[in-house]
Structure 1
């Protein structure tokens, strides 16, 4: 994705919004982020706008990335660039499709291993299918579910839904959006620390649960993967984010709690087992964005 002279006007038109975003949301000087805006986010936005035009209907763009990879940041930046191009976007998270708090309590009673939200089986798939189908078919308005992670002392629950109209592009992000089941025999050979003997049973069952998500993934018109050079960076990034929140006077998890939380996700769908097959599949993934330990991004060939 090359940045040509014809894109300079777009670059300058989004620059004021981008500079404000860097100050208020990223806490970084805009100068540090101009290269990624020029070389990655603007070309990606133009690609999405072109795809929307080719389809002749709303585009459903999947964005897959683990914790701390910058999914939310990317969606926000792409949204205001696309707005400048004249496209109305909807940022939808896989989190917005969680089952209600009461339904997840029942899940935990049925399977005590599901101590937190997150893994396959904790989402309302019928709700997701309904929302995406309504948007794909051009219905307007559409009622979009939203999720409040702070409800019930951090357990989270549904909150007031959002009514949206005339959506052109959905940026549908999540930690396993688009992830497909793998050969279950792989779990027998995956060595510790990727999987312990106890984890293999849980991983097999979560892999089977992924079958239920395939109809949802079928609604994706395109899939983008945010791919860290080392999956363990997610743990470091999550700790840094919590420490920053604590420094600002907000509540946050201890390092030990973060490790338990992140490892819980890895035990269900370990990135070393599920992500490499995806990024090697040209028919499944359209764009792969590499992420270095310092959070710098680059387009993988």
Structure 2
């Protein structure tokens, strides 16, 4: 079939496009779509196409054209998705606006999308976990369509087409956020709270969505200056397609469009600078949205040979350490092999720094570690060439803290104490002897456990329903409560995933010539954030509780065995499988 001469006149009519689009498609887009169809055929699996473009650049039309051609002329099963379809509901964004910053009530920027839902939807399509519900967003109402009107996919999909204005966008360095890019930032985000929140969301959650994309296409605007006119044309087109009653709802006039695009300016401008060198197909546009150039990467650019550096982030109790006796004998051969192959094993735990230091000594581990459920990262001084920005020297470590000190969280607990007087005991209440009784630790280990710096463990003895009320009231005071295997951990808005991301970035900054691959290992619900954040997740089965509730299905492994035996089994399975090297073979531990 000659793809260059296919008739798309019915497509043009349906989407109210001029005849000139036929020429545009023939000269630029159809050859690319043909290559994608060929690629899907050879891959013999579901592939995902990501299309990036600024507001009004034509990415939605290109996505629709790809669906049309792949469906009608290649008989492929295609699902079209827009990142816009995964905006939080209007109510959810209102809550963000009230709780974090008023600008978050306006849809658009990272932090206003339900990335968990987007990842789950695409992953379910890839792995054929039917039925799959496809959400859709009603821009005229500025809200998601009702769930009952969602499209339901019940059959295998060959190609997923995902388009979005910030697909592939990168977070910026903190210093880049200081100078406002427009009057919206200058007057309505004076303390940088909105910029920082958006940037953090982009850094933490969006890369896990982007990694699901196989083929990248970018429609590159010449600059942000022309985006206003493009976005205005887009709004007028939407207006023409609506009934008179709908036009009175959320359709924007010229002034409103001018304000609206200012929300997008910072990330759009940064993406125009950073994304072009990374995509598979780069279409450069002029001010009239005419394509002036197509750049394709060389084969070596597509299949990078950069060396891979693994980082293993591991929970301790119940994962690397046996739940009952804290032994790790069955993991020793694997730990030794990792060290010999320069793969850091980074403890991530609810324990204190003092406790982790004891464990690191027994493990002969000299790498950084994360304490108190992500409240702080401890890095041995001189581990990196220079002290990471945002850390302070504390003893022999550089320390990055994410929350307020322990005394603050104790004061919040004490506010609620009269209401729950006999329902709980904190570590501070229990003292060394009480901690020994609750944990079975020896006196020296219990003394280390008592040296909390950023939070307070609570042992709950009362009614289970009251416990949830207690947690809710602490949340209302601004605390964050994580439920571990034994205790409630009361601290601030930190988690193991955020700390993992920060430390991974520090490694990447020091070794830009390598591709960092992260493996997170855990067994309980308070490990969820890092299990979701890492490139690969290993869930260790527990003899005392069920598996944590993990959203991801991509790069997820569940151990067969408990504790350190399952730890060695899973690490070997994941890292050996990815390295494909005869020179690297992790021993499988004592599985007799």
TM-score of the alignment, normalized to the shorter chain, above 0.5: yes
Contact 2:90 2:105 in 1 (8 A): no
Question: C-alpha displacement at 1:38, in angstroms?
Answer: 1.3
Q: 1:298 to 1:194 in 2, by over 3 A?
A: farther
Q: 1:247 to 1:132 in 2, by over 3 A?
A: closer
Q: 1:53 to 1:300 in 2, by over 3 A?
A: same
Q: 1:194 to 1:105 in 2, by over 3 A?
A: closer
1:207 counterpart = 2:194: no
User: Superposition pairs for residues 11-160 of structure 1, below 5 Å?
Assistant: 11-12=4-5, 14-15=6-7, 18-28=8-18, 30=19, 32-83=20-71, 84-110=73-99, 111-151=101-141, 155-159=142-146, 160=149
Q: How many pairs were matched up?
A: 281
User: Which structure has the highest helix share of the two?
Assistant: 1
Long gaps (5+) in structure 2: 296-592
3-state DSSP of counterpart to 2:102 = coil
1:259 counterpart = 2:253: no
Question: Which residue does 1:3 correspond to in 2?
Answer: none
Decide which structure has the larger Cα Rg and report it. Answer: 2
CA distance in 1, matches of 2:234, 2:206: 29
3-state DSSP of counterpart to 2:112 = coil
Question: C-alpha displacement at 1:199, in angstroms?
Answer: 6.4
Name which of structure 1's ranges 199-208 and 223-232 shifts more when overlaid on structure 2: 199-208
3-state DSSP of counterpart to 1:223 = strand
Contact 1:101 1:158 in 2 (8 A): no
Question: Which residue does 2:287 correspond to in 1?
Answer: 293
Question: C-alpha displacement at 1:238, in angstroms?
Answer: 1.8
Question: Which residue does 1:178 correspond to in 2?
Answer: 168
Question: Which residue does 2:275 correspond to in 1?
Answer: 278
Contact 1:227 1:291 in 2 (8 A): yes
Q: Which has the higher contact order (CA 8 A, sep 6+)?
A: 1
Name which of structure 1's ranges 203-212 and 242-251 shifts more when overlaid on structure 2: 242-251
Long gaps (5+) in structure 1: 1-6
Q: 1:130 to 1:148 in 2, by over 3 A?
A: same
Question: Which residue does 1:238 correspond to in 2?
Answer: 231
- Alignment RMSD, CA only? 2.5
Question: Which residue does 2:377 correspond to in 1?
Answer: none
User: Per-residue CA shift, 1:186-229, capped at 9, x if unaligned?
Assistant: 23467667964846823333111102111111111122111111
CA distance in 2, matches of 1:143, 1:241: 27
3-state DSSP of counterpart to 1:114 = helix
